[in-house]
Amino acid sequence: MVRFGLTVVRHGETRYNKDKILQGQGIDEPLSPTGFKQADAAGLFLSNVKFTHVFSSDLLRAKQKYGVAEGRPLTDLKAMAKAAGEQCPTFTPSGGETLDEVRERARDFFEFLCQLAVELEQKDQEMHGAASRSSGTCEEESVFPWTDHCGVRKLSSDNGEASKLLLDANILVVSHGAYMRNWIGYFVSDLKCTLPASLTKTQLSSVSPNTGVSHFIIKLENRSVLKPEIICVCLNQDSHLVDVGAECVAPKMF
C-alpha cells in the first residue's frame, strides 16, 4: 500500500481579500502586511513538519479565472448572477471558469500527486527491498502539529509530543480559497473522503481563511490511483492565527 500526507494551505491575506474584490489569474496582488504575518504564523505552525514535496501557485499571493468579474467587487458578481437568474456560488461570468472546469483541474492535479507518490514508493522498493519497507525504516516519519480526529496512529498527547505517522511522501500545496473548496468538494462527493466527526456542514462548505491549513492522509491500495482512500485529519484549521489579529472568518467566494 502507498500512503502519503497532503497538506493544503491557503495563501495569506491580500488587500483585495480584505476589500472583498475578486482576484483570479488576471490579478497578481501581493500579500498585505496582515498577510505576511499570517504566512509567518503558518510557517511557524508547520515548522516541525518534514515535507518531501512543495507545490505553490505561480501568483504572488500563493488559477482561478473570474472573466469579466476579475478585479471587481464581490457585490458586482452577485448582481451579475441575480440578473442571470442564478445563485452566486454556481454562476460563471462571461470569460470565467466554470466550477466543473475548476474541479477537473483539481482532479487532474490530485491524480498527478497520487502517481508521484506511487513512483516514489516503487523507487524505494527497488532500492531497499520489501523487507525494509515492511519494517518502515525507509518511510518518511513526519510530525504533525494538529489534532488527529480520524484514528491515525499517533503518540500520546500526555507526553507533549506531536503526532507521528510513517508515510511514503508528505506533500505541501499552497493554493487559493475557491480552488481549495472545489478540490475538497471533489474529495468528499466523488472520492468519499472520511471527515472528522465534529465537522459541520457550514465548515465543510466554507472557503478556508487565509493561511487556513487542511491535512489529509491518502492510501492507495495496490498502488492504484483510481480508488484512493482519503482521510481528512483537519479542515481549514486556523489556530495559528489567534495572535495575528486578522479576521479568521473567510470571505464567502474567494
Beta strand pairing status for 163-167 and 140-144? antiparallel
| DSSP 8-state class, residue 30 | P
Helix or strand (DSSP H, E) at 48: none
8 Å CB contact between 7 and 213 = yes
Reported as a single tens digit per residue, the pLDDT across 162-207 is: 345 578 899 999 888 878 888 898 999 999 999 988 888 888 888 8
Query: Where residue 251 falls among pLDDT bands split at 50, 70, 90?
Result: very low
Give me 210's grid cell.
487565509
Reported as a single tens digit per residue, the pLDDT across 14-47 is: 766 554 444 444 445 677 888 889 889 998 999 8
119: phi then psi, degrees, rounded to nearest 5: -65, -35
Question: Please, how many CA atoms are within 13 Å of residue 105, restricted to the half-sphere of its CB?
Answer: 16
Query: Where residue 116 falls among pLDDT bands split at 50, 70, 90?
Result: very high
Question: Please, how many CA atoms are within 13 Å of residue 163, restricted to the half-sphere of its CB?
Answer: 19
- Give the integer Cα–Cα distance in Å for 101 and 182: 10
Sequence letter at residue 3: R
8 Å CB contact between 110 and 186 = yes
Other Cβ atoms within 10 Å of 60 Cβ, number: 12
8 Å CB contact between 169 and 52 = yes
